[in-house]
Amino acid sequence: MQRHVTAGIDGSAESLAAAHWAAGEALRRGVGLRIVHVWPRPLAPGRSAAAHEQAEHTLDRVASGVRARHPRLAVVERLVRDAATDTLAAEADRADLLVLGSRGLGGLHGFVVGSVSHRVLARSTAPVVLVRAGVTYAAEHLPATHGVSPEEIPGLPYRDVVLGLDTSHPCDEPAAFAFASALRRESALRVVHTYRAPDGGNAHGTPPGQPRAREEQALAAALRPWREKFPAVTVTETVTEGSAAAELTRASARAALLVVGRQTWDGRSGPYLGAVTHAVLHHVGCPVAVVPHT
């Protein structure tokens, strides 16, 4: 099967935003787009034909909109009547990337992560991006001047990509995803690392500033091979004492994409997102890439 990005849709505004975001990502990667609509079995007898017709209409409407906006993109449609979690997890296994929509928290930034999205995120062996309704081309790019819409200016610079990195457990997969994402966008990459100071502060003789300096050195060491591999990417490092979720939320307020990691499910402990990933999904407004790692 040829390389592709997959968008899972259900006809909602957020899944429409996800489909268009996935189309842009497919173009950036030079691959095709696969749009998958999973529809449930009707609850009432005799509703199967009507439900199937509605599902076909939804898929055609979304695919037609994507093709109209991105005429050079190869788009494949798939309509599936099955369990959404199993189908989307299987689609993710075959794709470079799975993109799903997620509802915004009313007038606030953030996501409502439904049970299907949560289970797919926790099971997927491929990166999964959550996109909320309202995410547009303009939201990913730096603002235009003189009241001109960003859509009218080809090549308008992208906003930064943000990566959350834990130096106590550095992982290749999220870092590789973030650096490659920044390179494709020709954008800067901001790497955020947080730490907790030892209990007792300086009571044990720790010189002021030593914990921070140690963390800065660890972050620089973790990023050194990635800087060498991606010399064209401008990297900014931020080391802060405090909550990882709070700092990532703050850092991604004006970002094009936030990248976080998720430890691969080993089949024993059950699907698990991790506390930081779970928290940022509920508070961050930009698209969030959840990248599995070992």
pTM for this entry: 0.89
Q: How far apart are CA 176 and CA 171, in angstroms?
A: 9
Radius of gyration, CA atoms only, the chain: 20
pLDDT band at residue 109 under the 50/70/90 scheme: very low
- Range with lowest mean pLDDT among 24-28, 39-43, 82-86: 39-43
Identify the helix (H) or strand (E) that includes residue 193. Answer: strand 189-195
Digit-coded pLDDT (tens) for 197-250: 776 555 555 565 688 999 999 999 999 999 999 999 999 999 999 999 999 999
pLDDT, tens digit (0-9, with 9 covering 90-100), for 125-177? 899 999 988 787 767 888 755 555 555 555 678 999 999 999 888 789 999 99
Structural element, H or E, at residue 184 = helix 172-185
**CATH code for 144-294?**
3.40.50.12370
On average, the pLDDT of the chain sits at 86
Fold adopted by 1-135? Rossmann fold (3.40.50)
Could you tell me if 80 and 38 are in contact, meaning their C-beta atoms sit under 8 angstroms apart? yes
Q: How many helices (H) and strands (E) does the chain have?
A: 9, 11
Rounded-to-integer distance, Cα 155 and Cα 192, Å: 27
Domains 1-135 and 144-294 belong to one CATH topology? yes
106 pLDDT more than 50:
no
Task: State mean pLDDT over 26-55.
Answer: 84
DSSP H or E stretch at residue 129: strand 128-132
CA separation, residue 276 to residues 26, 34, 186, 220, 252 (Å): 28, 30, 27, 22, 14
Q: What's residue 43's pLDDT?
A: 58
Q: Write down the domain spans for the chain.
A: 1-135, 144-294
pLDDT number for residue 266? 56
> Which residue has better confidence, 107 or 6?
6
User: Residue 197 has what pLDDT?
Assistant: 77
Q: Give percent of the chain with pLDDT exceeding 70.
A: 83
Which of 83-97, 108-122, 265-279 tops mean pLDDT? 83-97
Whole-number Cα distances in Å, 156 to 137, 150, 159: 10, 7, 10
Confidence at 92, pLDDT banded by 50, 70, 90: very high
Residue 272 pLDDT grade (very low, low, confident, very high; cuts 50, 70, 90): low
pLDDT at 16 over 90: yes
Q: Is the pLDDT of residue 192 over 70?
A: yes
What is d(CA 183, CA 186) in angstroms, rounded to the nearest whole number? Answer: 5
Tell me the mean pLDDT in the region 249-268. 85
Judged by phi (left if over 0) then psi (alpha if -120 to 50, else beta), residue 3 lies in: beta
Question: What six digits make up the tokens of 273?
Answer: 């997102």
Q: Is the pLDDT of residue 68 over 70?
A: yes
Instruction: Give me the pLDDT at residue 118, please.
Output: 80
Nearest of 276, 236, 252, 5 to residue 135 by alpha carbon: 252
Q: What is the largest CA-CA distance in the chain?
A: 76
